[in-house]
Structure 1
Amino acid sequence: MGTSEHVPLPTDEAKAKELESQHSEEPDRGQWTGKFDFLMSMVAYAVGLGNVWRFPYLCYKNGGGSFLVVYAIFFCLAAVPIFIMEVTIGQYLQKGAMEMWLMCPLFRGVGIGNVVIAFMCIAYFCVIVAWAMFYMISSISWVFPWETCTNYWNDATCVTGKENVTELARIKALVASAGGHTQTSVEQFWEKRVLHDTGDIAEFGGIQWELFFIMAAAWLIVYFALWKGITQARKFVYFCALFPYVLIFVLLVRGLTLEGAADGIYFYLKPNTTRLLDTAVWKDAGTQVFYSYGVGFGALIALGSHNKFDHNCFKDAITMCFINGCTSITAGFAVFSILGYMSHVAQKDIAEIVKPGVGLAFLAYPEVASNLPMKQVFAVLFFLMITILGLDSQVCMVEGLFTALEDAFPILRKYKKLSLGIFCLFFFILGIPMVTYSGSHWLTLFDAYGASGYALLFVVFFEVVGLAYGFGAHNIRHALKEMVGINLPVWIEYIWKFCAPATSLVLFVFCIVYYHPVKYPTGEDFPVWANVFGWFLSSCSMIVIPGYAVYYLLFTNKHLTFKERIRKGLNLDGSFESPAKRNLVNNAEELKFIESSPQ
C-alpha cells in the first residue's frame, strides 16, 4: 500500500515550486505504524509532572470540588476544542508548528511563538528529571539521608520532627537567640545537599556536579529515544505512557490502606462553594488546563503530523483529553491519601504538610516516605514515576521543536542523527546554569515567565484565532470529515471562533491584573532585574507574533497593494484541498490501473 504524504499549502508560486523541489529530495518524515502509537505518544507527552504535583495542590488550595467544577468548564470550552484543533491541523497538513502557517502566513509568528515556548520548557525539564533521579538514587538506603540531622550538610538549626518536646524547645530557643529559625532535615537535604542553594539568584556559587552528570544522562536518553525518529521509538513511548499508571495505581492502593487516608482525601476534595466567586480559582483552573494539556507548545501538531491521512485523530484526541483529566484526579487521590497518613502520624494539620509546586514532590513526599512501611520501595517508585513523566514529556517536546525546525530547514532531516545530537548538546549546555548553586531559582524564573502563564496564553489566543479565522473553523470541520468521515456539529465552529479564544484572552488578562513578582521559597521577592528578565523571556514568544505580521505586510509581496497583502496573508482567496487526499486518490487510481491491466 502506498503511503500518503502531505505538502504544505503554498501561499505563492515561488514558495510552491521551492517546496515541491524540497519534497522530492527530503527524507521521509516518518509515520506511526501501530493503531495506538499516536494515542500513546499523546499520553506520554501530555500526562506529566503537572498532573502529579500541580493539579492536586491547586485542587486543595482552591476549594476542592469547586475547583473541579471550574476546571470542567475550561476543559469543555478550551482544552478539548483546542486539542482537537491542533491534532487535526497537524494530521491534515503534515507539517510542524512553523511551516503549517504557510497556509495563513500572516500568523506565521504564532508558529515561531510555539517554538520559543517549547524552547523555554525544554531548557529546564531535564533538570527536574535530574532532581527526581537524585532522590531515587538516594532512596536506596536503609536510612534516608533526609531523615537525620547528623549529616555533613546539616547545621545546628536542623530538626527531624522526632525530637521530644524538651529537646525541640531547647533547639528552638538556641536558634532564636542567634536570630535564626529552625529547618527540617528534609528541607536541609533539599537545599544544602541536592541544590547546594545559595539563596540568591545572582550567586551562582558553582556547579552541582552530581546533578550535572545526571542531567547529561537524561539528555542521552532523550537523544537515543529520538535519533531514529519518534515513530521508531514505539517501545520507549509505550513504556513511558503506560508504566507511570502502574506506579500511580500501586501508590494509590497503598495510600488508601493507610490510616488517616480518608482525612487526606477529604481535604483534597472538600467543597467550598464560596470559592466559585473567587477570580483566583478561575485563573488557577484555566492556566492548569492549558499547561496540563500541552496546547500551544507545537508538540501536538508535530505528533499529529506523523499520522496517516485517514487515521481517526478525533477519537484519539477525545480519549486523550479524558485520560489526562482522570489521571490528574487519580494522582490527587494517591498523593493526598498519603499526606493524610502523614498528618495522622505527625499530628499536624494537613495544611502544614502540603506544599505548592515543586515542594510537593521534593519536600512533602520525602517527609511522608520516611514514615511509610516499606519506605524504600515506595520512595523509589514515586521518584521513578516523576523521572519517567519528565522524560516522556521532554522527548515529545523535543520532537515537536525539532520537527518544526526540520520542516523549516529540510537538510536537518537528511542528517538527523548529527543535527539532533547538536540540538541536544545545545540544550544541555543551556541547562548548566540551572544545576549551579542558584539553579533552582533560574528554573523557577524560566517556568514562571518563559514556558507558562502569560506567554503561553498569549500564543494560544493567536493560534486559535489564526486557525479559526485564517484557516477557517469550517475548513477544520471539513478537513476532519475528509480524513476520518466524522461530521462535527456546526456549533463546534462557534466554540473555535468565540469560546476558545475568549477563554485564553480572559485568562491572559487575569494573569496580568493579578500579577505578582516571582518569590523565593522564603517569601521574599526576586530582585527587580530578575523579574524584568523574566518579562523579557515572556516577550520573546509574544513579540514575534505581531512582529512577523508587520514584517509580512511591509516587506513581502511588495508588488501587491496593502489590501491585497492582507488578503494573501490571511489566504482569503486560497483553496484548502489537502494534497494528501490527492495522493490517496492517485494511489487508488494507480492500483485500479494495475489491477485492470492485462496479465
Structure 2
Amino acid sequence: MSETTFMSSSKENKFSSTCSTYLTLFGYSAGLSDIWRFPFLAYRNGGGAFLIPFVIMVFVCGIPLYFLEYSIGKFSGKGPYQIWDANPLFRGVGVTVSAGNVIYMVGMSIFRCWMVEFIIHAFQNPVPWSHCRNEWNTPFCRDNNALISVDNETDTGVSPNIPSNVSSYDITTSAFTVMEQSSQMSWTTNISGLANVSGTPMSAVEEFWQYQVLQLSSGVSDFNPVILRYFLYMFLFRLVILLGSVKSIKSIEKVIYVTATVPFILTLAIFVRSLMLPGSGDGLRYFFYPDFDKMLKAKVWIEATLMAFYTLAFGWGAIVLMGSHADFKDNCLRTSIVLPIIDMLMAIFSGMVCFCVLGNMAHSYGVHITEVINAGMATGIVAYITALTSFPVPQLWTSLFLMSVLLTGVDSQLIPFDMIMQLIGDLFPRAKSGSRIYALIGVSLVIFLPSLLLCTGAGAYIFLWIDWYGGAWVGPIVAFVEIVAIAWIYGRILILSLELMFPCHIF
C-alpha cells in the first residue's frame, strides 16, 4: 500500500502515545461484548460455572494469541492483507477478514438503533419502562417499582392496572386480548409480533425491549413492520463512523479517549447503586459460586472459549491493524499481557453489575435467579436499565448510560472500517490521496443499504443469525489458520523478527 497516497504517511499513521495505544486497544475489545454478550452467556451457563472456564481460556489462549497478532502487526507495519506477503498462499485470509468485518458491521449497526430508541424514550417522565401502563404492555407485565422496595412480600410485581383474576387470554399475530369473565371487560393492546407472547411474566423493561424496540415479526422471512425511524438512526450512525475515519488512526484515537472511559465511569456508578438493592448479594453469590456439574459440560467450555475470542477480537484483523499503528519499540509483550487481563476484568465487572440487579429482581419477584428474566441476548442491557430505573433522576442516568453504550459501538466499528479502507489501499496502491473520501462514502453505502433490512420486524432474527454464525466463529477459524501459517510455516523467522523489537533479547 502506498501510504503517501491513499492513506496517510507512515509517521502520521502511528499512535501519538502509549496511552493512546492502550485506550484504543481497550476501547475496541471492551465494548458491547462485555455489557451485552458476557452477562447473557454467564447467566445461561450457570454464573461461576462459566466464569472459571472463561478466565482459564483468556490466559491459555488469549494472551499468546494477542501477542502473536499484535507483534507481527507491529513488526511489519502492515495491515491484515499485506501482512501475508510473508506467505502469499494465505493472502485470502486478509480478504476473508475484511469481508467478515463488512458483514459484522451490517448486522451489528442495528443494535445502535435500538439504543437510540431507548435514549429517546429515556427523557419521558416517568420513563416508560418503569411501569406497565403503556400501549405495548401485556397483562403479564411486572411493574419495576417493586424492585426498589426492601419489603415487598405482599407485592405481586404485576402492574396494578391489570386485575389479578384474569381467567383466559387469546394470542393472535395482531392483537393480545384478555377477557375477565366477572366484569365482562376486555383489554386489547395492539402489539406487533404477539405470536411470540407466551404468557410468561416479564418485567416492564423486558416488554419495552420486546414490543416497542424490537417489534418482532413472525419470523426471519417476515419484514413487517418496517420501522422507518430506524432508517434515520442508521444513516446518522454511518455518517458518524465515516467522519470519524477521515484521518484514519489519528481521528480514531481522539474519539476513543471518550468512548473508552465514559462507559467505565458510569458502570462503576451503577455498580455502587446496585449493591444497595436487596438481593444483590444473592446475585453475586450465583455469579461467583460455580456449579461443578455444569463445568463438566462441553457446551460451557465451548461458549467460554468463543467469548474469550469474541471479546479480545482474535482473527478479526483488528489487533494486527492496531499493531501496525504502534511504535516499533513499543513493548508488545507487556501490552499483550496487560490488555487481555484488563479486558477480562472489565467483563467480570460488567457481570457483577448485571448479577447484582438479577439478584434484586429474583428477590423482589420471589423466584430463583435462573427464572427471573427472559430477555435472552439482551439480559445485560435489561439488567442495567432496570438498575438505572431505581436511581434518583433516572432520566439523566439512563440517558448517560445509553449514550456510553452507543459510544462503545462507535469505536468497535471505527477499527473495522479503517481496516477495510486499508485493504482498498493495498489492492489499489496507485489511488490518489484525494480519492479516500470517495472510497469512504462508497464503503459506507455498501454497509448502509443492506443494514436497512434489519430496520424491520425481522431485524432481531437477522442480527442474531449474523452474530452467531459470523461473529462467534469467524475469529476462531481465522486464528487457527494464523497459528498454522505463522507459527509453523513462518517459523523461526518470527523469533528473529521479535528479537529485533526487544533490545534486551528476552527470547
Do these two structures clear the TM 0.5 threshold for a shared fold by scoring above it? yes
Q: Report the alpha carbon displacement of residue 89 of structure 1 after superposing the two structures with TM.
A: 1.0
Shift of 1:380: 2.3
Q: Which residue of 1 aligns with 2:266?
A: 247
> Aligned AA for 1:224?
L
In the other structure, the counterpart of 1:318 is 337
Q: Which amino acid aligns with 1:442?
A: I
Pair 1:170 & 2:165 matched: yes
Where in structure 2 are the equivalents of 1:110-125 lying within 5 Å?
Answer: 110-125=93-108
Q: Which amino acid aligns with 2:438?
A: L
1:219 matched to 2:238? The reply is yes
Aligned residues of 1:63 and 1:273 also touching (Cα < 8 A): no
Change (3 A) 1:401 1:413: farther
1:392 corresponds to: 411
Gaps of 5+ in 1: 1-18, 490-599
Deviation at 1:108, TM superposition (A): 1.4
- The residue number in structure 1 matching 2:286 is 267
**In structure 1, distance between residues paired with 2:79 and 2:409:** 22
Find the aligned partners of 1:119 and 1:463 in 2 and give their Cα distance.
Answer: 20
Superposed, 1:87-486 pairs within 5 Å as 87-154=70-137, 160=143, 162-163=157-158, 167-171=162-166, 173-175=168-170, 181-182=198-199, 184=202, 185-355=204-374, 357-411=376-430, 414=433, 415-453=435-473, 455-472=474-491, 474-485=492-503
Find the aligned partners of 2:140 and 2:281 in 1 and give their Cα distance. 34
1:73-98 Cα offsets, whole Å, 9 max, x none, are 22222111111111111111111111
In 1: Cα distance, 2:478 partner to 2:21 partner: 24
Of stretches 74-83 and 179-188 in structure 1, the one that deviates more from structure 2 is: 179-188
1:435: Cα distance to partner?
0.9
Q: Is the 2:263–2:401 Cα contact (8 Å) retained in structure 1?
A: no
Given the superposition, is the C-alpha separation of residues 113 and 239 from structure 1 closer, same or farther in structure 2, using an over 3 Å criterion? same
Displacement, 1:279? 0.7
Shift of 1:127: 1.2
Sort the Cα spacing of 1:163 and 1:63 in 2 relative to 1 into closer, same or farther, 3 A. Answer: closer
Inter-partner Cα distance in structure 2 for 1:235 and 1:136: 24
Q: Deviations over 1:434-462 (max 9, x none)?
A: 11121111111111112223x33222211
CA distance in 1, matches of 2:366, 2:357: 14
Q: For 1:336 and 1:117, locate their aligned partners in 2 and report how far apart those are by CA, in whole Å.
A: 32
In 2, Cα distance between equivalents of 1:276 and 1:237: 37
Find the counterpart in structure 2 of residue 42 from structure 1: 25
Residue 313 of structure 1 aligns to which amino acid in structure 2?
A: C
Question: Aligned-pair distance for 1:409?
Answer: 2.2
1:410 match: secondary structure: coil
For residues 170 and 234 of structure 1, what CA distance do their matches in structure 2 show?
Answer: 58
Q: C-alpha displacement at 1:356, in angstroms?
A: 6.1
Q: Is the 8 A contact 2:129 2:208 kept in 1?
A: yes
Q: Deviations over 1:1-23 (max 9, x none)?
A: xxxxxxxxxxxxxxxxxx7xx56
Cα RMSD of the aligned pairs, angstroms, is: 2.7
Are the counterparts in 1 of residues 142 and 159 from structure 2 also a CA contact under 8 Å?
no
Q: Deviations over 1:1-49 (max 9, x none)?
A: xxxxxxxxxxxxxxxxxx7xx5676651511122322111111111111
Alignment-mate amino acid for residue 311 of structure 1? D
Q: How much has 1:166 moved relative to structure 2?
A: 11
Structure 1 residues 139, 237: closer, same or farther in 2, change over 3 A? same
- Residue 196 of structure 1 aligns with an amino acid whose one-letter code is Q
Instruction: After TM superposition, give the deviation of residue 118 of structure 1 in Å.
Output: 1.4
Q: CA deviation at 1:110?
A: 1.6
> Offset at 1:365?
4.1
Which whole-Å CA distance do the structure 1 matches of 2:5 and 2:331 have between them? 29
For 1:28, the equivalent position in structure 2 comes to 9
Q: Secondary structure at the match of 1:171?
A: coil
Deviation at 1:387, TM superposition (A): 1.2
Change (3 A) 1:80 1:412: farther
State the structure with bigger RCO (CA 8 A, min sep 6), 1 or 2. 2
The change in CA–CA distance for 1:69 and 1:148 in structure 2 (over 3 A counts) is closer
Among all aligned residue pairs of Structure 1 and Structure 2, give the percentage whose two residues are the same amino acid.
26
- CA distance in 2 between counterparts of 1:305 and 1:104 reads 17
1-structure distance, mates of 2:69, 2:376: 28
Q: TM-score, normalised by structure 1?
A: 0.72
Structure 1 counterpart of 2:22, which letter?
Answer: L
CA, structure 1 residues 394+413, in 2 after alignment: closer, same or farther (shift >3 Å)? Answer: farther
Structure 1 325/413 Cα, relative in aligned 2: closer, same or farther at 3 Å?
A: farther
Contact between 2:5 and 2:430, CA under 8 Å: does it hold in 1? no
Change (3 A) 1:451 1:60: closer
Deviation string, structure 1 residues 147-185 (Cα, Å, up to 9, x no partner): 444434446676647447995543353458889743644
Aligned-pair CA distance for 1:135: 0.7
Rate the CA distance shift 1:475–1:358 in 2: closer, same or farther, 3 A: same
Q: 1:167–1:190: structure 2 CA closer, same or farther, 3 Å change rule? A: closer
Q: Distance in 1 between matches of 2:169 and 2:96?
A: 53
- Deviation string 1:411-431 (CA, Å, 9 cap, x unpaired) is 557222221122112211121
Contact 2:217 2:225 survives alignment (8 Å) = no
CA contact (8 A) 1:83 1:295 kept: yes
Whole-angstrom distance in 2 between the partners of 1:486 and 1:207 = 61
Which letter does structure 1 place at the counterpart of 2:166?
Answer: I
User: Is this contact kept in 1: 2:259–2:411, CA < 8 A?
Assistant: yes
Deviations 1:109-158 (A, max 9, x none): 22222112212211122211121121122111212223444434446676
Paired position in structure 2 for 1:51: 34
1:465 Cα deviation from its structure 2 partner: 0.9
SS in 2 for 1:146: helix
Looking at structure 2, the residues matched to 181 and 307 of structure 1 have their Cα atoms a distance apart, in angstroms, of 52
1:236 CA drift (Å): 0.8
Deviations for 1:306-353, whole angstroms, at most 9, x for unmatched residues? 123222232222211111011011111111112222222333322222
Q: Please list the CA deviations of residues 451-481 of structure 1 after superposition, one character each: whole Å capped at 9, or x if unmatched.
A: 223x332222112111112222x33332222
Q: Tell me which moved more, 412-421 or 80-89.
A: 412-421
Distance 1:369 1:239, change over 3 A: closer
5+ residue gaps, structure 2: 144-155, 172-177, 180-194
Q: 2: distance between equivalents of 1:402 and 1:330?
A: 34
Distance 1:319 1:275, change over 3 A: same
Q: 1:258 to 1:364 in 2, by over 3 A?
A: closer
Decide whether the 8 Å contact of 1:369 with 1:379 is kept in 2. yes
Identify if the C-alpha distance between structure 1 residues 278 and 103 changes in structure 2 by more than 3 Å, giving closer, same or farther.
Answer: same
In structure 2, give the amino acid aligned to 1:261. Answer: S
- Shift in Å at residue 107 of structure 1? 1.4
